[in-house]
Structure 1
Amino acid sequence: MKKITFKTAFNAYDDLEIIGEGGSGKVYKVNDQDGNLYALKLLDHHKANKEKHKRFKNEVFFCQRNIHKNIITILDYGFVTDENGQNPFYVMPYYSSTLRDLMSNKIPQDKVLPYFSQILDGVEAAHLKSIWHRDLKPENILYDISTDQLIVADFGIAHFTEEYLLTSVETKASDRLANFQYAAPEQRLKGQVVDYRADIFALGLILNEMFTGVVIHGTRYTKINAVASQYEYLDEIVETMVSQSPDDRPNSIDEIKKILIGKKNEFVSRQKLDELKNTVIPQSEVSDILIERPVKLINVDYQKGEFIFILNQAVNQKWVESFRNISNYHYLLGKEPSVFKFYQDRATIEGGENITEQIVTYFKEYLDKANTVYKDRLIAEQRHKEEKQKRMIQQQILEAETTQRIFKKSKYLI
């Protein structure tokens, strides 16, 4: 078979072998001009309809902007021309393994939840941006051997919010989305609303299969308790995740995470959308404009015996408190940090012309120290808040389990 060279604006990729094939395209293992290995997904122009082309564009648009470690990042894209027309392709990191491969080799029981937590992080990162994958399965979850990380890939039939929608795609009532094995009930019927809860259904199937090795079918399926009794509590989670009605499933990935955290799985990390950067970050990470853009001096004015320091942005009360509580600084008597007055993006202090050089130099020193104190304070507060939330969640789970046990025991005494 003739080898193909895929060219983009700044690189060229040589076809090494086909590593995957579907109804409308192929996935190639390729290398670039420097010999680096990549995976390349090619959409066959002849086999793919207009809607698939639109979905392919949207997938590229979203994934090339992604920086989350558990979602695939598209590195390059272009098209190759043949007798059928222009065939679009994109380039992504090459991973030699998938979750399916891990499951085939049997995942040690104590590693299942840490791996599943990574999948939750990737899917949740998409959900927090109002993007539903709608085709989750072990083959679409790649495995990076070098980092021991799982990466959610193949957003080819995902629902994208307008911000990540490069071209509009109409999901017709006649469309059935996703493969049947991991599809939610609403995906198997024409004309049903398919949203983020379809992903939660698929995740429930995957979690159970990671322990048992078999996919749930019907109600009489192999439960986790049958193969790993210490994880019996997961059966109830799985049962709600794979509920027939989307309304009966957990309403978010975070709800699932809170149950896992409540059972003292310390590796589970809650996430949030950082609106400053529009990226998904751990809840423990601080997002604050005064940390993202530290306070700096941009100009100095002098009026009526008073120095006016003009800052690059307005400061808040907590930052002012940090400024006034710095330590190990140089100062002029009577001009200590506690004496400065602040209003929005201005700081003022009385003084004469003879101290100009020193007061400006010292003020810049105070700013640097205040920025550090402010950042450390916010990080400490966020950690304290997260620990408090974690303890509260664990207590709630404990109380709920106690109530359930008492209810079961008392039932037989009535």
Structure 2
Amino acid sequence: MSEPAGEAKGSRESLEGRAAALDATDELGKLRAQFVLDDTVYLDGNSLGALPRSVPGRVEDVVRRQWGSLRIRSWDESGWWTAPERIGDRIAPLVGAAPGQIVVGDSTSVNVFKAVVGAVRLAGGGGEGREGAGVRDEILVDATTFPTDGYIAASAARMTGRTLRPVAPEEVPDALSGRTAAVLLNHVDYRTGRLHDLPSLTAAIRAAGAVSVWDLCHSAGALPVGLDEHGVDLAVGCTYKYLNGGPGSPAYLYVRRDHQSRFDSPLPGWNSHADPFGMTPDHVPASGALRGRVGTPDILSMLALEAALEVWDDVSIDAVRTKSLALTDFFLECVEAYVLDGAVEPVTPSAHAERGSQVALRCADAGRVMRRLIEQGVIGDFREPNILRFGFTPLYVGFGDAERAARILSRTL
């Protein structure tokens, strides 16, 4: 098969050679062997991370020994009861949080609901909540947010008697006022891969007396977050993307330590009770991040997640970020070299400070193009109406993968 005309702009041999050299010196390259992968180029880890090799054996042990033999004794003897906070402490360093502030359980959507309603209650108004709070009757939400976040923010606004106001993240500082109770933002835009300025936006929200809620679904495990360092109030995230927890693996909720005694969850279940087995008619919330628990933990998927997180032992999130930027830079360079002018348009920012760990390309007939790519062994996805998305998971994606994906994209177009 002949090479596409677009390759005349760059040397395939030189780019393949550079990819091989970069892979040979990649300090994270050895981690690829810890995942179940074939010879496809898997660039959809921003939707579903690859399977870590440690997970199947752990799940079999949970099913056969812990559930099959120990049965109910496993709540104590196998540590089932403490799994939500224990696994939360494993996630904590990946998002820049000290132990004791993250609880794992429920879906991202449920945790967004807990966080937004909890944020409104923390902000208070009329003398309650944050010092100097007035009538805080407005919730700001990222206008470009993942749809579910918007749906839940709207429901939370109706429930709490607040008004919902969608704004672009960069417009948040000017939109803040004494009316603002809570602000829900995405750290990385799921369509474009744009990284929003968490430190400065969080500082602006705090200065306005409002409560920040960050959705970390597309940043946790891909880049440093710095929840504690930057004073984030509440945060949520999924674990099945860059954390490789498996389809539908449980999400997590971060509650900053100095808010925990006042965090009032809208879902006070028996698992968040100070005395869960007391079975009293009144709810007395547990101390600490355990207030974010609701019902019985989903043990099978939770312990699969715990096994998956073992691949992060001794891995620096800063090293992951360095490789992520190098990978996405190299992919964009290969696309520019191989693809005919005008066939695709990058919509992911070129500036490192504004880029997550995915590259989004605007392309005519993107759905059909992605189907053709998948047929040829390049696995990405697309978003309506015309966006090709390629997620780069530094733990198992290499520079050779990036070059091959760009070359096959050029041939396909």
Larger Rg: 1
Pick the TM interval, shorter chain. Answer: under 0.3
> What TM-score does the superposition give when structure 2 sets the normalisation length?
0.24
Pick the structure with more strand per residue. 1
Q: Considering Cα pairs closer than 8 Å and 6+ residues apart, tell me whether 1 or 2 has the greater RCO.
A: 2
